[in-house]
Amino acid sequence: MSDALCAAAIAAREHAHAPFSQFRVGAALEDSSGRVHTGCNIENATYGLTICAERVAVFKAISEGAREFGRIAIAADTGDLTPPCGACRQILWEFCGDIEIILVNIQGYRESLRLSGLLPRPFDASFLK
């Protein structure tokens, strides 16, 4: 498990804009060259336009030219480790495949798992053929 990747996710969490829920999340996505792309959740008053930390990290990485990823760390200040929501699981699957997911909280508890364990029988472009 990567201490640096987890630390980057925890640091990204500090930039979250969560004035409504106070639920701040950070993500750090490592691409195949070792670069780390971070993201934080950004809330909107309508909630429906809120974007999660994981999607911010993925979209930043894609916009910076990265196309292959190995793992992502997701940090939240919760006692129970917080997995990605359904929308984030779908985006992670489509852009990252069966990536390693490292869940971490600010108390230092961690768990590592594969996305396929969180998203069995995923929908992807293979169904569009």
Instruction: Report the alpha-carbon distance of residue 49 to residue 111 in Å, rounded.
Output: 29
User: Which residues are CB-neighbours of 5 under 8 A, at least 6 positions away?
Assistant: 28, 30, 36, 71, 73, 102
Give the up-direction half-sphere exposure of residue 30: CA atoms within 13 A in the CB hemisphere. 21
Neighbours of 51 (CB within 10 A): 17
- Is 14 a catalytic site residue? no
Find the catalytic residue in 54, 64, 68, 111. 54
Residues with catalytic roles: 54
